[in-house]
C-alpha cells in the first residue's frame, strides 16, 4: 500500500487494542500524513470513527470487506 505513509496490521486484536495501536502509530506521523489500518474486530468500525472524531483526525475511508475492516486516517495538522 505505497499510497500511505504508514500501515498498521491490527488483525486479531480485540477491542480496544486497534484504537490504542492507531493512536500510537499516529504519534509517529507528521500532520497531514496518512495511516492505513486493517483490523478484524467488528467493534473497530464504530471505535475508529469515534476516535477520529474525538481526536480531530480525518477518517478518509472506513469499509468492511470479507470480515476485515479497512481504514485510512489522515493525521490532523496541529495548530501549535
C-alpha grid cell for residue 51? 476516535
Q: Supply the residues annotated as catalytic.
A: 15
C-alpha grid cell for residue 30? 507528521
Cell 464504530 found at: 46
Strand partners, 25: none
Residue 24, class by beta-carbon neighbours within 10 Å (0-12 exposed, 13-18 middle, 19+ buried)? exposed
Amino acid at each position: 500500500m505505497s499510497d500511505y505513509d504508514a500501515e498498521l496490521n491490527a488483525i486479531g486484536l480485540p477491542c480496544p487494542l486497534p484504537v490504542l495501536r492507531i493512536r500510537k502509530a499516529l504519534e509517529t506521523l507528521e500532520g497531514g500524513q496518512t495511516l492505513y489500518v486493517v483490523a478484524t474486530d467488528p467493534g473497530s468500525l464504530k471505535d475508529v470513527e469515534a476516535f477520529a472524531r474525538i481526536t480531530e483526525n480525518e477518517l478518509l475511508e472506513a469499509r468492511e470487506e470479507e470480515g476485515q475492516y479497512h481504514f485510512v486516517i489522515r493525521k490532523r495538522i496541529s495548530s501549535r
